[in-house]
Structure 1
Amino acid sequence: MNNNDKKVFHNQNTLFKYGNAALNIKLWNSEKYLITKYAKLDDNILDLGVGSGRTSFGMYELGYQNISAIDISSSMIEQAKWINQKLNYKILFEIQDATKLSFNKNAFDFALFSFNGWAGIPSENARIKALKEIFRTLKPGGIYIFSTHLRNDERYLKNYQKYLVSCDEFKYEMYGDYIFKNQEDHYDFMHLYSLNELLNLIKINTKFQVIKVLDRDRNFIESQMVLEFADNTTFFVLKKPFNTEI
């Protein structure tokens, strides 16, 4: 069983990268468009996998102030709290696992899991648990937005075995699991779905309605700083139906 709290998110180089993004990049143009389209300023917002707070600080500066920001990495949350204090912002940062959230049901109007964070949870069962927990904590009519890389099978089959033997932190459990070395030369994990696989997973395991799927680079122009920070990704916009209890 893979551990949800990855070593890479306690690494000093990674912390520096995410801290810099929290201070200097904040929201991408694509994220800003989607957030302002689907979230009202007075909404209760759940920001998941926040790292050092990049998206949380960006939303706060747009006028969103009811933000609960969580990440499983204590090192990331410690850095986010430090930045929060220095900026004199009032964002609630907490260490939490997305697969077992402490919040009550129907607590949030809007949820965001940015930068491929949901697909980076290193277990299919855990990813499904996280989806169900986000669904539980959203109000009926609430919106959940996440981003992920979609799988290119030719590229995946060529590369997926490269680090299977040398990495002892993550285990290959199913087709689509991808163990790789990131820009800081540390092992990381992401599950790569095809579009149909992901749509079926959402349909089979949750009552979410998929209302939009958007390729970032086909629909938005991002700054050079954003392009260097993160390569292309696909956004999914989900809605919790009004006629549901949990």
Structure 2
Amino acid sequence: MQAKNAFTNQQTVNKYAQSIINVGLWKSEEFLINKYIKKEAQILDLGCGCGRTTFWLYQLGWKNIIGADISKAMIKKANEINQKLKFNLQFLSLDAANLTFKTNTFDFVLFSFNGWTGIPKKEARIKVMQEIYRVLKPGGIFIFCAHERNETQYNLRYKINFAKCQEYNFNEYGDYVFLNEEGIWDYMHLYSLKELKYLINKNTNFQIIEILNRDQNLNEPEEVLNFSDNTTFWVLQKTK
């Protein structure tokens, strides 16, 4: 896979770097990680961007973390921040569909801020989920989030946007393209709960252990609500 243009733009990189301070770790992220992940866990923070979740988890006591992102520009910025803070963190530019880690390496993999659903093409998203399963230890936890599809809004908007967008020319139902704040086309696949459950059960051996709607369960501060629309967290466990 290649990094999307939306995540190589310098404006976007700066926005994600600023989110480390301006947004920080969401209450929902901290709640779920505290619930399932011990402080001594070996953690892979996939799609870490400039390190918003990575740096905050490190400060809160999770010290064994590797941050990884396909965007070299994001990882460069994360490493610059890491050097200034003098944290003992490692940031790597990696393709989530072809991870370089050995099987059964991590206790926990996090793919935050709708990063997994932002991977273009269904086959690639499945491959990434299978790779995450591979690098997790038996009993390991995978947490990611996904916007739920509002059928009425989706059917009104998706065809119009695809007609305008030149970067993404495929069109599977649920695919959604939009102009981000920097005026660059970005992509996300919007799932129904039923569709995503089916995909996980059909293509992986993960067990779904919790599904949590963020805004129905946690009162996030205004900074988080402005940074991201409501989303649903999925907590999966490697069964063998």
Band of TM-score, shorter chain: over 0.9
Tell me the alpha carbon deviations over residues 139-192 of structure 1, each in whole angstroms, 9 at most, x when there is no partner: 000000000101011110000012213322112331001011112221000001
By how many angstroms is 1:68 displaced? 1.1
1:110 aligns with 2:102: no
Aligned residues: CA RMSD = 1.0
Counterpart in the other structure of 1:47: 45
Match of 2:183 among 177, 182, 185: 185
Structure 2 CA distance for aligned equivalents of residues 26 and 198 of structure 1:
28
Tell me the alpha carbon deviations over residues 88-123 of structure 1, each in whole angstroms, 9 at most, x when there is no partner: 111110000111100000000001000000000001
Structure 1 CA distance for aligned equivalents of residues 91 and 214 of structure 2:
27
Letter of the 1:194 counterpart: S
Letter of the 1:66 counterpart: N
In structure 1, runs of 5+ residues without a counterpart are none
Structure 2 CA distance for aligned equivalents of residues 12 and 57 of structure 1:
20
> What TM-score, normalized to structure 1?
0.95
Tell me the alpha carbon deviations over residues 56-104 of structure 1, each in whole angstroms, 9 at most, x when there is no partner: 0010011111101100000000011111111111111000011110000
Matches within 5 A, 1:103-182: 103-182=101-180
Residue 172 of structure 1 contacts residue 178 of structure 1 at CA under 8 Å; is this kept in 2? Answer: no
Tell me the alpha carbon deviations over residues 17-37 of structure 1, each in whole angstroms, 9 at most, x when there is no partner: 101012332210000011111
Structure 2 CA distance for aligned equivalents of residues 86 and 39 of structure 1:
27
1:218 aligns with 2:216: yes
Structure 2 CA distance for aligned equivalents of residues 90 and 24 of structure 1:
22
Residue 119 of structure 1 contacts residue 127 of structure 1 at CA under 8 Å; is this kept in 2? Answer: yes
Match of 2:201 among 175, 178, 203: 203
Residue 29 of structure 1 contacts residue 222 of structure 1 at CA under 8 Å; is this kept in 2? Answer: yes
The alignment covers a number of residue pairs equal to 240
Letter of the 2:128 counterpart: A
> Which is worse superposed, 106-115 or 161-170?
161-170
Structure 1 CA distance for aligned equivalents of residues 104 and 231 of structure 2:
29
Structure 2 CA distance for aligned equivalents of residues 78 and 193 of structure 1:
32
Counterpart in the other structure of 2:81: 83
- 3-state DSSP class of the match of 2:118? coil
Structure 1 CA distance for aligned equivalents of residues 113 and 126 of structure 2:
18
> What TM-score, normalized to structure 2?
0.98
Matches within 5 A, 1:16-35: 16-35=14-33
Letter of the 1:214 counterpart: L
Residue 22 of structure 1 contacts residue 54 of structure 1 at CA under 8 Å; is this kept in 2? Answer: yes
Structure 2 CA distance for aligned equivalents of residues 5 and 124 of structure 1:
16
Counterpart in the other structure of 1:97: 95
Residue 4 of structure 1 contacts residue 122 of structure 1 at CA under 8 Å; is this kept in 2? Answer: no
